[in-house]
Amino acid sequence: MNKNKQYRYVIIGAGMAGILAAIKLLDAGKKNVRVYEKADRIGGTWRENTYPGLTCDVPSHSYTYSFEPNPNWSRYLPPGSEVQAYFESVAAKYHLEDIISFNEEINSCQFIDNQWQIVTSLGHTDYADFVIAATGVLHHPRIPNIKGMDSFKGHIFHSARWDHSVKLDGQRIAVVGTGSTGVQIVTALADRAASLCHYQRTPQWIMPVINGEFSEAEKELFRTDAAALKRIQNDPELEANIERFSVAITEPDSAAMHEIENIVAQNLELSVSDPILRERLRPNYRAACKRLIYSEGFYSAVQKPNVEILIEGADTIEEYGIRSPDGTLREFDIIVLATGFEADRFMRPMAITGENGITLEQAWADRPTAYMSVSIPEFPNLFMLNGPNGPVGNFSLIEIAEQQWHYISQLMALVESGDYSKVSAKQSALNDFDAARVIAAKKSIFGSGCQSWYLDAQGVPATWPWTRAQFKEAMQRPDISAYNLS
C-alpha cells in the first residue's frame, strides 16, 4: 500500500454541506480538492429560494458552523438573504472560490480500478479517490400536475424559481401549497396583494414564535465578547428544547409531544376569532406529523379581509384563474406554486455506477437508503452528507452535517492510512440498520397518519427515527465491522 499517496477529493455541490466538506478537507491539509457546482454561485437551497418572506426556521445562532459563529444576525429567525450572505462570507474567508468549478454539473460517476471517474456537463473528465455527495435534499422543485397550467395568461412560477420581475403590489395572487414556504409567502404578501387566496388542501399546525430583532448593543457584545457569542450559539435552554422535541418525535405518547400538541392547539384557538375560519385551519392529524411550522404572523395574515383560505384543491387552471371542484372560477394575475421539492432525488439524475456495474437506480429501486445515512454498499469511497434517513425534523442541518463529517472523516482515514484502498458499508449492515429504522420510523410521530414529504414511496417515514442524542452518539465512531475494507 502507498502511504504517501496524494488523494484526490471531489465534492458535489457548494451548498451548506459542500462548503463544510471543503473547509474541513483544506483545514486537514488536503491539497487536491475540487468542488463541482451546477449553479453560478454557492448557497444551495438558500441561493435557489428568494421568495418574499423567506425565513430560516432554525434560530440564527444555531444555524451556523460551530467554528464560524456570526455576531451579526439581525433576528432570532434570520431572513433567507442573511443566511445566503453568511455562507458567501464563510466561503470567501476560506478562499473556496479557488477550488469550485461553477456552472459545471456532474453527469456521471463510475467506480473503475479503485477510482471514481467523473464526467461533467462541460465534457470534462475528472478522477477522484473520494467523492463527497453534498447535493442536499430540497433542490428539485415538485411541479404539480394541474390540468390547464399552460393555458394561464398571467404569471405562474414555483416558489423556488421566483420571478422578481413580476409586480406583486395590488395584484390578485393565488398561493398553492401549505408547507413552510406557503405560510411564509402568504404572511409576507397579505398586506401587498389586492386579493390573496391560499389553496391549502391540508392545513398545518402552527407553532407560535416571537421573531425578535437583536439590538445593536447585543450585536456589539457578540462582536467583542467571544464567550458571549459562543454562549448564544450553544444556548443551553434551546439545546434542552431541541432535545425534548427530538424525544417527542420518537415517542408520540410522551409528555413532550402532548405539550407540543397543547401549544399549537391553543395557538389556533386564541389566534383565530372566526370559528368557521378556525376549523378550516385545523389539521386532522397530530402535531409534528408534518414538519412543524413556526410563524408569528400567519394567523393574523389570513384574517385580513383580502385573504381567503380555501380547503379544496386547485382542480383546474384556466386562462384567467383557477377553477375549484365546485365549478367556481377565481381570477388571478399571479399563481405561486409553493408545492415543495422531490425529496427523494438526492444525487439523481446523475448516473452513478459503483462496483460490479450496480447503478444507484438499482441500489435505490425500493427506496433511497444509506447505512447511517452516509454510505451505500457497492459504492466505495463515496459518502453522503444529509443523505437518506438522516435527521431532518426541525433540526439544524449544519449541526447534522458536522456530526456526519466527523464520522466520514474516520472512514476516509482508513484508506488514507494506506492500509486499504476502499471502504463501503456492508449490505448486511444496511439491511439490519434499515429494518430497525423502518420499525422505529413507523412508530414515530411522522408515521402517525398524515401525508408529508418525509414519507417514501412505501409510505414509510424516510427520516432518522431515533433521538438527536442517539444520532450524535452514532456519529462519534464508525462500527468498522459494518464496513467492507479492502
Say if residue 46 is in the same domain as residue 94: yes
- Judge whether 332 lies within some domain: yes
What pLDDT score does 394 carry?
Answer: 66
Handedness of CA 46, 51, 57, 59 (dihedral sign): positive
Instruction: Report how many domains make up the chain.
Output: 2
Q: For the chain, give the mean pLDDT.
A: 95
Cis upstream peptide for 283 (omega within 30°)? no
* pLDDT single digits (tens) 278-302: 999 999 999 999 999 999 999 999 9
Say if residue 108 is in the same domain as residue 158: no
Check residue 232 and report its DSSP letter.
Answer: H
* pLDDT single digits (tens) 256-278: 999 999 999 999 999 999 999 99
pLDDT category of residue 136 using cuts at 50, 70 and 90: confident
What pLDDT score does 454 carry?
Answer: 86
What pLDDT score does 309 carry?
Answer: 97
Say if residue 317 is in the same domain as residue 348: no
Last residue of a domain, one of 337, 371, 387: 337
Q: Find the helix or strand (DSSP H, E) in which 412 lies.
A: helix 397-416
What pLDDT score does 4 carry?
Answer: 66
Residue 357 Ramachandran class (φ > 0 left, ψ -120 to 50 alpha, else beta)? left
What pLDDT score does 445 carry?
Answer: 95
What pLDDT score does 191 carry?
Answer: 98
What pLDDT score does 2 carry?
Answer: 60
Say if residue 432 is in the same domain as residue 289: no
* The C-alpha cell that represents 217 in the structure block: 448593543
Say if residue 324 is in the same domain as residue 348: no
Q: Nearest CA to 11 among 23, 29, 28, 27?
A: 23
Say if residue 127 is in the same domain as residue 171: no
What pLDDT score does 351 carry?
Answer: 97
Rounded to whole angstroms, the Cα distance separating 459 from 453 reads: 10
Last residue of a domain, one of 307, 337, 367: 337
Q: At what angle do helices 226-233 and 216-224 cross, to 10 degrees?
A: 110
- Judge whether 313 lies within some domain: yes
Say if residue 385 is in the same domain as residue 238: no
Say if residue 98 is in the same domain as residue 153: no
- Judge whether 53 lies within some domain: yes
Q: What average pLDDT does this structure show over 115-132?
A: 98
Q: Nearest CA to 291 among 161, 405, 137, 170?
A: 137
- Judge whether 2 lies within some domain: no
* pLDDT single digits (tens) 350-400: 999 999 999 999 999 999 999 999 999 999 999 999 999 998 776 789 999
- Judge whether 3 lies within some domain: no
- Judge whether 331 lies within some domain: yes
Burial of 168 (0-12, 13-18, 19+ CB in 10 A): middle
DSSP assignment string, 271-291: H---HHHHHHT--SS-TTSSP
- Within 285-396, residue ranges assigned H as helices are 298-301, 360-363
Say if residue 328 is in the same domain as residue 350: no
Say if residue 387 is in the same domain as residue 242: no
What pLDDT score does 212 carry?
Answer: 97
- Judge whether 4 lies within some domain: no
Say if residue 161 is in the same domain as residue 232: yes
- Judge whether 448 lies within some domain: yes
Rounded to whole angstroms, the Cα distance separating 341 from 293 reads: 17
Residue 1: pLDDT over 60: no
Rounded to whole angstroms, the Cα distance separating 95 from 472 reads: 30
* pLDDT single digits (tens) 19-39: 999 999 999 999 999 999 999
CATH label of the domain that carries residue 310: 3.50.50.60
* pLDDT single digits (tens) 188-240: 999 999 999 999 989 999 999 999 999 999 999 999 999 999 999 999 999 99
Residue 6: pLDDT over 80: yes
What pLDDT score does 312 carry?
Answer: 81
Last residue of a domain, one of 337, 365, 395: 337
Residue 435: how many other CB atoms lie within 10 Å: 10
Q: What average pLDDT does this structure show over 106-126?
A: 97
Asked if residues 152 and 141 have their Cβ atoms less than 8 Å apart, the reply is no
pLDDT category of residue 3 using cuts at 50, 70 and 90: low
Q: Nearest CA to 443 among 313, 257, 294?
A: 257
Say if residue 198 is in the same domain as residue 112: no
Check residue 212 and report its DSSP letter.
Answer: P
Place of cell 445566503: 84
DSSP assignment string, 20-70: HHHHHHHHTT---EEEE-SSSSS-THHHH---TT-B-SS-GGGSS-TT---
What pLDDT score does 140 carry?
Answer: 86
Asked if residues 378 and 354 have their Cβ atoms less than 8 Å apart, the reply is yes
- Residue-number span of the structural domain to which 226 is assigned: 149-213+218-337
Q: What average pLDDT does this structure show over 119-125?
A: 98
* pLDDT single digits (tens) 140-186: 899 999 999 999 999 999 999 999 999 999 999 999 999 999 999 99
